[in-house]
Amino acid sequence: MTSVDQAKQVVRDRVWRLLEREGAVPDGSYGKIPGFRGAEATAERLAELEIWQQARTVKANPDWAQLPIRVRALEDGKLLFMAVPRMASLQPFYLLDPATLTVPPEQAADKKGAAQVARRVGVEAMRPIDVVICGSVAVNRSGARIGKGAGYSDLEVALLIEAGLVTERTAIVAPVHQLQVVDEEIPETEHDFSVDLIVTPDEVIRCPNPRRPQGVIWEDLTAEKIAAIPVLRALVDTRSA
């Protein structure tokens, strides 16, 4: 583990324990993207913003914490791309189109429901993304964020950047509990992206100078990580062909 990884883990540990101590999350939330109390209010606050009202396409993580926002996206008629958990497919995104859903949005937007009713697609079958919803453990007001450490959000966004589907016009949003907004510096590496907006049940924080990687930073990926993610294996084969 690098010094940057260690520093991030210190912040994660502190925030997870703080959330548990203050009763802001259900039991068993340590080690996960926190499914915080107030997630529904956060979805409502986000829905009031112009960037959401104008958005036609939304990409979101599959975590339980973002379920109210995924449901709201479908209820508002937005095309929803939901990451397949752990990117465990050559087509690493679920496509949920509210115009063709045969089940209620609450069922379709759930991780298990999406696996049953959604079509899996690769980046070549996706549309440009207006809003990215990223699960986070901690964020600061400059927009630096920390996930749970697996790196899937970074990879998903990097793939979409390489495909030209996430650009400087895309708004990246971190919906979190107020306790997840930290004052300290968060170390960043080349593959990290920052967020444009932090939305909590209490406020909307607009972050300056958003940061985007240029795409997948292959030098940061281990052979084991590449081997575990089908779409990365396919890209490696294409690059070496």
Rounded Cα distance between 113 and 18, Å, is: 31
**Contact, 128 vs 165, CB < 8 A?**
yes
For 153, the token pair is 């959000």
Query: Mind listing the pLDDT tens digit for each residue in 200-215?
Result: 999 999 999 888 998 9
**Contact, 158 vs 135, CB < 8 A?**
no
For 217, the token pair is 């930073």
**Contact, 121 vs 169, CB < 8 A?**
no
- SS3 letters across 92-146: CEEEECCCCCCCCHHHHCCHHHHHHHCEEECHHHCCCCCEEECCCCEEECCCCEE
Query: Mind listing the pLDDT tens digit for each residue in 130-182?
Result: 999 999 999 999 999 999 988 899 999 999 999 999 999 999 999 999 999 99
Phi-psi region for residue 128, left (φ > 0), alpha (ψ -120 to 50) or beta?
beta
Domains of the chain: 3-240 (3.40.50.10420)
User: Chain-wide mean pLDDT for the chain?
Assistant: 95
Query: Mind listing the pLDDT tens digit for each residue in 98-133?
Result: 999 999 999 999 999 999 999 999 999 999 999 999
Query: Mind listing the pLDDT tens digit for each residue in 24-81?
Result: 999 999 999 999 999 999 999 999 999 999 999 999 999 999 999 999 999 999 999 9
Give the pLDDT band of residue 241 (cuts 50, 70, 90): low
Q: What is the pLDDT of residue 2?
A: 85
Q: What is the pLDDT of residue 237?
A: 81
Q: What is the pLDDT of residue 6?
A: 94
Q: Which amino acid is at 173?
A: V
